[in-house]
Amino acid sequence: MLIELRDICKIYQMGDMQVRAVCGVTLDVEKGELISIMGPSGSGKSTLMNIIGLLDQPTSGEYWLEGADVAKLDENTLAEIRNRRIGFVFQSYNLLARTTALDNVELPLIYSGTKNRRRKAREALETVGLADRVDHRPNELSGGQQQRVAIARALVNDPDIILADEPTGNLDTKTGLEIIDLFQRLNKERGITILFVTHDSEIADFTRRIIHIRDGAIEHNERVENQRMARDVLTELIAAKEEDAATPSDKELVAVER
């Protein structure tokens, strides 16, 4: 088992009130799974992802990562796991301001001491379709482009696990599908375990398992019977577009008559 969560809780103390962002979550994730997490806003999805991504500590419960008790790992080991084994895409991107897309993507490589960093960072940006935006700073990029830089940064160090908090939230259907297609390929070809949060049930259908979360707890685990492939949907979409282009629209006909 890759990830084992046992009765995980994250409770925030707000004055007299206790906010149970996540509570009683027990979850097993096997190596090579592709999972989507769904749930209403404020249900604790991000909180759970942060805990899985070793960015935050649970208030109670156990987290075993590849058989190791995470609570017993020291700071440096956690940093190394975050660096080499986990690629995390934040809901709010969290890019370094005033730093180019390329430099942002390069960052994990610096901390892992990898060689050929520029080339690898450039390739990761190409993968997410941003080859022409490498020298742009976050404030010179659209929301969707920033999201893709964040995805490139998560991919760049060849992680074993990718955790993505709403990676398609700011993307149009086609670009979103391309990212999901990328995830599906990484999952299938390289065996990378991927968990991502989405609000879109159609997007969730591209995974094999959907975890429904409500009020900080898992409501149910749903097995997807007919997993769809993003590639197929993309091909259909492109075919439909070409058809559109072949038959001129009414407007254009009017223009020609004049």
**Residue ranges binding other proteins (CB under 8 A):** 50, 53, 55-57, 75-76, 79-80, 82-84, 88, 90, 94-99, 103, 107-108, 110-113, 153, 157
Which among other proteins, ligand ATP, Mg ion, none contacts residue 14 (Cβ within 5 to 8 A by kind)?
ligand ATP
| Nearer to other proteins (CB atom), residue 75 or residue 257 | 75
Q: Binder to ligand ATP among 36, 47, 146, 184 (CB under 6 A)?
A: 47
Give the shortest CB-122-to-ligand ATP separation in angstroms: 31
Helix/strand number for the chain, H first, E second: 9, 10
In angstroms, rounded to a whole number, what is the distance separating the alpha carbons of residues 234 and 20? Answer: 40
Q: What is the per-residue binding string for ligand ATP in 10-39, x denoting contact by CB under 6 A?
A: --x-x----x-x-----------------x
In angstroms, rounded to a whole number, what is the distance separating the alpha carbons of residues 192 and 184? Answer: 9
In angstroms, rounded to a whole number, what is the distance separating the alpha carbons of residues 226 and 144? Answer: 29
> What radius of gyration, in Å, describes the C-alpha atoms of the chain?
20
Please name which of 119, 179, 120 lies closest in space to residue 144, comparing C-alpha atoms: 179
Q: Does the protein bind ligand ATP through residue 193 (CB under 6 A)?
A: no
CA distances 158 to 1, 27, 43, 175, 201, Å, are 20, 24, 30, 22, 28
Sign of CA dihedral 38, 218, 53, 91: positive
Give the shortest CB-220-to-ligand ATP separation in angstroms: 16
| Nearer to other proteins (CB atom), residue 76 or residue 226 | 76
Q: Binder to Mg ion among 36, 43, 46, 127 (CB under 5 A)?
A: 46
Q: Which residues bind to ligand ATP, rule: CB under 6 A?
A: 12, 14, 19, 21, 39, 41-47, 91
